[in-house]
């Protein structure tokens, strides 16, 4: 019974982590920036002219105005944005088969004349897919702010980045629990 509960916990953590990764991938508030070159230091200190940068757009937030410039020209984008986009899209797309595979291995679900050895193999494969999602998301969510820091002044991390970290950690936890509690 305890093993089944842990397996369900790992599955729930993987699903919640996947949802977090999907939201982080789609939103554009990865880092909050202030362009000191075009603004004076006092404006940045008062946080009056902030911008946010994400995988898909650069946004400017001045008092009363919020404007986003969509990053559509793929060939002119910095390499870190292209790579982070690819990693997050891969993690998001990989989530559906991972969740489906893990759901079919829960103790309360039996597919036809499912043998324990095939269920165990599917469980390991599902756990590995969830771990792969976590690794891709962790690489992207660490690489993006580090590379952005070298290009501009970062004031803080945005909610999308925090959500990406939380989603990746949930996937990491869920993947390890799924693999460790898969039985024999």
CB 134 within 8 A of CB 171: yes
Nearest alpha-carbon partner for 29 in 48, 55, 65: 55
Reduced to 3 states (helix: H, G, I; strand: E, B; else coil), residue 76 is helix
pLDDT surpassing 90 at residue 148: no
SS (H, E, C) 14-71: HHHHHHHHHHHHHCCCCEEECCCCCCCHHHHHCCCCEEEECCCEEEEEECCEEEEEEC
pLDDT surpassing 60 at residue 19: yes
80-102 pLDDT, tens digit per residue, is 889 999 999 999 999 999 999 99
Q: What is the DSSP letter of 164?
A: H
State the pLDDT confidence band at 35, using cuts at 50, 70 and 90. Answer: low
């Amino acid at each position: 019974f305890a093993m089944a509960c842990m397996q369900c916990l790992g599955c729930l953590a993987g699903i919640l982590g996947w949802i977090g990764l999907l939201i982080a991938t789609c939103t554009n508030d990865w880092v909050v920036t202030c362009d000191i070159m075009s603004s004076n230091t006092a404006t940045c200190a008062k946080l009056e002219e902030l911008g946010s940068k994400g995988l898909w757009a650069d946004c400017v937030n001045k008092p009363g105005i919020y404007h986003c410039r969509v990053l559509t020209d793929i060939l002119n984008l910095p390499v870190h944005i292209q790579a982070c986009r690819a990693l997050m899209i891969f993690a998001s797309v990989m989530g559906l088969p991972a969740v489906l595979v893990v759901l079919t291995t829960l103790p309360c679900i039996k597919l036809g004349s499912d043998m324990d050895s095939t269920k165990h193999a599917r469980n390991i494969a599902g756990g590995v897919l969830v771990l792969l999602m976590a690794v891709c998301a962790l690489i992207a969510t660490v690489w993006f702010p580090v590379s952005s820091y070298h290009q501009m002044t970062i004031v803080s991390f945005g909610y999308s980045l925090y959500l990406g970290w939380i989603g990746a950690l949930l996937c990491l936890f869920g993947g390890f629990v799924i693999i460790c509690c898969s039985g024999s």
